[in-house]
């Protein structure tokens, strides 16, 4: 048996501390004592001797269950807040960017400036140690340069389209992204789509075609630029899936950061060759002669660059927290929000047929997301 000595070092404590002296005891007597103790005092918690400490077997389980519920609630609130920030930044980016491109028709220079804002934000993030800087091998760098080239073209072509047509029409065309995702997955990865995915692509193509035929601001440069941005963006996504696999693969935030910096380096000389050096005071005065002051132009350009990098960064952070299918559904909802908000802000005239085409394309994107979920769902094992 264990002789117990009652010690109360602090008289304020309601119960004394138990100190036990370890004395060898046969295993059979220990077992019988534990059984008799549990039957004699059913009101007591199931206590277990672990060294010289008593631990409850039921209280920690209830505590862990409460902690898991609170943690899941906090995670859900955090994820919902990040989705809201993602949508809000995207709305403001499209509004600011469209206002800049209206008075300053140099999409290459605008895109280079926006990528420069992102590069500065990334440098601050690494200097302040908000996120650890990346480490990659030369073989990875070759693959990243290819991704950066596609990222550069995707952003540039999107701005070319936004400068030519309405924001709502550009995003309606960009609803064709799932079609090119499937196409490049077949060509580059050899992944063939399921029947449900193929069927979901039909309303996307039909809706975009109907919206294009009935769009008041339609022109071929804006249409082809938006369609080409789909090609480059989805080839970037497929290539990232192909190349960035393995133990040495970078996390999404650093991958996006390195791609942004390389894109800025690639685009600056290209913008000078395409547009010339257009950031002189005289050029800004000409650009702002349409009712916008130089100060307003600079502020909107800066806000557009900050919003672009911020919403893309938040998108990559969300992708680390949820599955690709959930992210795809969220991206579909985001496109609906951006199209609706741009129509309201810019008072874009929309015909009934154009509305039907846009709604059909977005419904197809949602069906595509659901079809991907069916494809990714594991099949039950049969005995």
3-57 pLDDT tens trace: 444 444 444 444 444 344 444 555 444 444 444 444 444 444 444 444 434 344 4
* DSSP of 232-250: HHHHHHHHHHHHS-STTPP
Please report which helix (H) or strand (E) contains residue 49, including its range.
strand 47-50
Q: What is the pTM of this model?
A: 0.72
Look up residue 284 and give its two tokens: 């800004």
Q: What is the reported pLDDT for 112?
A: 95
Does position 156 have pLDDT exceeding 90, yes or no? yes
Q: Which residue has the tokens 């001797």?
A: 49
For residue 135, the SS3 value is coil
Q: Which residues pair with 48 in a beta bridge?
A: 55
Look up residue 320 and give its two tokens: 């680390």
Q: How many CA atoms lie within 13 A of 210 on its CB side?
A: 19
Q: How many CB atoms lie within 10 A of CB 214?
A: 17
Burial of 151 (0-12, 13-18, 19+ CB in 10 A): buried
Distance CA 156, CA 274 (A): 12
- Smallest Cα–Cα separation from 5: which of 263, 16, 55, 24? 16
- Smallest Cα–Cα separation from 270: which of 163, 160, 147, 153? 153
Contact indicator for 161, 332 with CB cutoff of 8 Å: no
Contact indicator for 229, 174 with CB cutoff of 8 Å: yes
Say which DSSP state 290 is in. Answer: G
Work out the widest C-alpha separation in the chain, in whole angstroms: 97
Distance CA 337, CA 90 (A): 9
Q: Which residues pair with 54 in a beta bridge?
A: 49
Does position 301 have pLDDT exceeding 90, yes or no? yes
Q: What is the reported pLDDT for 326?
A: 74
Q: Which residue has the tokens 């874009």?
A: 348
Highest mean pLDDT among 112-121, 249-258, 290-299, 370-379: 112-121
The pLDDT-based confidence of 305 (bands split at 50, 70, 90) is: very high
Does position 63 have pLDDT exceeding 50, yes or no? no
């Amino acid at each position: 048996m264990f002789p117990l000595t009652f010690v109360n070092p602090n008289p304020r404590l309601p119960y004394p501390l138990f100190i036990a002296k370890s004395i060898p005891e046969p295993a059979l007597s220990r077992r019988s004592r534990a059984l008799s103790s549990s039957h004699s005092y059913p009101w007591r918690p199931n206590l277990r001797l672990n060294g010289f400490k008593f631990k409850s077997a039921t209280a920690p389980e209830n505590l862990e269950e409460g902690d898991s519920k609170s943690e899941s609630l906090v995670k859900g609130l955090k994820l919902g807040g990040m989705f809201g920030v993602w949508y809000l930044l995207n709305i403001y980016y499209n509004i600011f960017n469209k206002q800049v491109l209206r008075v300053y028709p140099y999409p290459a220079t605008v895109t280079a400036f926006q990528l420069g804002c992102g590069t500065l934000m990334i440098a601050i993030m690494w200097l302040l140690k908000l996120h650890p800087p990346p480490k990659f091998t030369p073989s990875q760098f070759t693959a990243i340069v290819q991704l950066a080239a596609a990222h550069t073209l995707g952003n540039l072509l999107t701005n070319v389209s936004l400068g030519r047509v309405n924001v709502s029409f550009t995003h309606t065309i960009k609803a064709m992204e799932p079609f090119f995702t499937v196409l490049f997955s077949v060509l580059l990865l050899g992944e063939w789509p399921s029947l449900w995915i193929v069927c979901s692509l039909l309303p996307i193509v039909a809706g975009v075609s109907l919206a294009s035929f009935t769009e008041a601001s339609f022109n071929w440069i804006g249409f082809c630029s938006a369609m080409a941005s789909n090609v480059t963006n989805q080839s970037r996504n497929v290539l990232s899936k192909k190349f960035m696999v393995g133990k040495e693969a970078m996390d999404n935030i650093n991958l996006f950061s390195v791609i942004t910096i390389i894109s800025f380096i690639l685009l600056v000389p290209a913008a000078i060759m395409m547009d010339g050096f257009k950031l002189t005071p005289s050029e800004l005065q000409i650009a702002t002669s349409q009712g916008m002051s130089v100060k307003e132009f600079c502020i909107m350009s800066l806000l557009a660059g900050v919003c672009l990098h911020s919403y893309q960064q938040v998108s990559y952070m969300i992708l680390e927290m949820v599955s690709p299918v959930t992210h795809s559904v969220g991206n579909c909802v985001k496109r609906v929000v951006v199209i609706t908000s741009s129509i309201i802000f810019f008072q874009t005239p929309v015909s009934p047929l154009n509305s039907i085409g846009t709604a059909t394309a977005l419904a197809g994107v949602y069906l595509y997301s659901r079809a991907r979920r069916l494809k990714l769902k594991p099949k039950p094992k049969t005995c």
